[in-house]
Each structure stands twice: as C-alpha cells, then as structure tokens.
C-alpha cells in the first residue's frame, strides 16, 4: 500500500479499526486534479465505467468553478451522483 503513495506522490493510508483492511485516500482536491485525473485520462476506460469517469470529470469542473457553493451547483452534483454506478440507466 505504501507504493500507492509513492506512485501518486500523495495520499494517506488508514487502517480500519477492528478489521484486517486498509483504505487509501487522496483528500486534496488539487492532487486529484493534477495527479490522478491525468493518469486516468491517458488510459482508455472500458464499458460503463467510462461514462462514470466522464460524469466524475463534470463534477470536478463544477467544483473547480466553485458552482458547488450554490444550490444550483449542489443540485447538479446530486444529479450526477444519482446517475453514476448502479444508478445509471
């Protein structure tokens, strides 16, 4: 798991209490935009996950434009979230 931090150059690892599992998280928005998204843009994503990634990119653009600070922007993010993963028709 430490190799994930080395690869991405960011992130943290948390051990779950009372479980034999760990979580790798990237919490800084700028790390997501500057490090993670470019990697996934360079890799062709297959199937429905490509649509989820495009929705995710739309959500990131809303946040970058600070539109998430308005009720309209929050509603748009909620719609995007509802349509992703198992919510996709």
Query: Using one digit for the tens of pLDDT, what is the confidence trace for 36-89?
Result: 999 999 998 998 899 999 999 999 999 999 999 999 999 999 999 999 987 776
Tokens 């979230």, residue located = 81
Distance CA 83, CA 55 (A): 8
What pLDDT score was predicted for residue 50?
92
Residues whose CB falls within 8 Å of the CB of residue 76, separated by 6 or more in sequence, listed in order: 62, 67
Residue ranges covered by each domain of the chain: 44-89
Q: What is the pLDDT of residues 8-28, one digit of tens each?
A: 999 999 999 888 899 999 999
Helix and strand element counts for the chain (H, E): 5, 2
pTM: 0.81
Helix (H) or strand (E) holding 57: helix 48-64
What pLDDT score was predicted for residue 53?
94
Residues whose CB falls within 8 Å of the CB of residue 89, separated by 6 or more in sequence, listed in order: 83
């Amino acid at each position: 798991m430490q190799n994930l931090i080395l690869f991405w150059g960011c992130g943290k690892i948390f051990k779950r209490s009372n479980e034999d599992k760990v979580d790798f998280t990237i919490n800084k928005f700028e790390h997501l935009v500057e490090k993670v998204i470019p990697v996934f843009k360079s890799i062709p994503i297959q199937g429905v996950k490509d649509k989820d990634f495009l929705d995710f990119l739309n959500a990131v653009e809303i946040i970058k434009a600070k539109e998430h600070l308005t009720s309209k922007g929050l509603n748009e993010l909620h719609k995007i979230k509802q349509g992703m993963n198992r919510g996709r028709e």
